[in-house]
Amino acid sequence: MADEQEFQNRLRQLGVVKGARQLKPAPPVDPTLRESLRPSPHTAAQPLITLLPGAEMVDTAVGQTLIVDKVYPLPYRHGRHALADLLHHQPASLTPLTRDGRFQELDFRDFLFLDTETTGLAGASTIAFMVGVAYFERDALVTRQYFVPDLGDEAAMLTLLDDLLVGKAGLITFNGRTFDIPLLDTRHLMNRQLSPLPQMPHLDLLPPARRLWRARLGSVALSALEPPLLGVRRTQDDVPGWLIPGLYHDYLRTGDGRELVRVFYHNQIDLLSMVTLAARVAQQFSQPQANDDAVDLFSLGRWQASLGQTDVAEQCLRWAAQGELPLDLYHQNLFELGWLLKRHGRQAEAVPLWQQIAATSFDDVSAHIELAKYYEWHEKDPTQAIYWTEQAIRLAQSWSPTQAALVRPELEHRLARLRGK
């Protein structure tokens, strides 16, 4: 335990964020850190298959693959969510997000969750030495991890993966659109195999995570989303993602599987977290009224507006305005709602929103300008238009010369034109 605590302390000193492999380059590595992870040279190497309950070595015509299956009953709770939660929603609700009409005809039981562990992040020589998948089967969620025991066995792993894909209609990944799927597609080509992955309906959870939770949480790495959003805390069995390629290379050199057990754990938690994260994303679209966080409602409303879902966007933004928002987000929320109303010819309803912003904002004159435009063109009231323009100029006078120079010429031109009427 003392050694493990020392290891964790050293990781914190290096600035490691667990599981953030796909978002940032790895920090410079203390060469002694890898050594501290390696088993003692005085003990015999232990074959990986003996360390993983249920592991099976499968032979194919093109090599071997180690497969580890686990079965979870649907009521199983990963953090604060049951695995069955996702099945309470329909993929059709995500059609505005995916822009893929095939989601209208699918059920989440038709999807395969997929996550890879690789020998690196880029380059033609990078391979996925582990592909973890999860899928619903009857009253359970099955996770299956395909592991390449030797570099020459990659084609076998891809063949077995493709056999499973035949029965699946869609994919769910986390950053898979830019990383996992292009990598696997390339590896298929390198092995003279045709990948079915690019043609499948695909929900990549990273873009919606950014749109929905970055405003509140900042980082949207999967491991950063887990504690606050999913109620998941990884144990000391986990391993930082940026160490994983080195651990695989150590395994190829020594044949000792002890430290790779951590990689299987890491991949397993990724898969379970993707299942419950998909449920959270689906809930945002199918049951937005269940969201009780004002910042998340603002994010959802702004996103729904960009997707053309006007009614849902308006409701979310109004709910957000009734909650607790930081002042800057409160202004953004009101302005987004005002713009939504304006775009649909409801400028009169936007006026009180712009007035609230103008009364409490000291570094932005956008609301003043909208009010000036409204009174000039819709109410035909140049007196009010002049008033709001003068208020904007007065506010800009308190800014730095550089900041004021960005808006004052336009405001003064507007004021001169209004006075000339």
Does 330 share its domain with 266? no
- The number of distinct structural domains making up the chain is 2
**114, part of any domain:** yes
Does 334 share its domain with 264? no
**34, part of any domain:** yes
| Spatial contact of 23 and 221, defined as CB atoms under 8 Å apart | yes
pTM for this model (two decimals): 0.88
Domain range enclosing 59: 7-286
**268, part of any domain:** yes
Q: Which residue, 267, 286, 305, sits at the end of a domain?
A: 286
**291, part of any domain:** no
Q: What is the CATH number of the domain that holds 104?
A: 3.30.420.10
Does 221 share its domain with 309? no
Does 239 share its domain with 335? no
Question: Would you state the pLDDT for residue 121?
Answer: 84
Question: Would you state the pLDDT for residue 343?
Answer: 97
Q: Which residue, 258, 286, 314, sits at the end of a domain?
A: 286
Q: Which residue, 230, 261, 286, sits at the end of a domain?
A: 286
Does 29 share its domain with 177? yes
Does 282 share its domain with 300? no
**153, part of any domain:** yes
Does 60 share its domain with 181? yes
Does 86 share its domain with 196? yes
**339, part of any domain:** yes
Question: Would you state the pLDDT for residue 370?
Answer: 98
Q: Going residue by residue through the chain, which has 421 residues, state the pLDDT in tens, using 9 for 90 and above.
A: 444 454 455 445 444 444 444 445 555 555 555 555 555 555 789 999 999 999 999 999 999 999 999 999 999 999 999 999 999 999 999 999 999 999 999 999 999 999 999 999 877 789 999 999 999 999 999 999 999 999 999 999 999 999 999 999 999 999 999 999 999 999 999 999 999 999 999 999 999 999 999 999 999 999 999 999 999 999 999 999 999 999 999 999 999 999 999 999 999 999 999 999 999 999 999 999 999 999 999 999 999 999 999 999 999 999 999 999 999 999 999 999 999 999 999 999 999 999 999 999 999 999 999 999 999 999 999 999 999 999 999 999 999 999 999 999 999 999 999 999 7
Q: What is the CATH number of the domain that holds 304?
A: 1.25.40.10
Does 281 share its domain with 387? no
Does 380 share its domain with 276? no
Does 407 share its domain with 389? yes
Question: Would you state the pLDDT for residue 317?
Answer: 99
Does 118 share its domain with 170? yes
**2, part of any domain:** no
**1, part of any domain:** no
Question: Would you state the pLDDT for residue 39?
Answer: 59
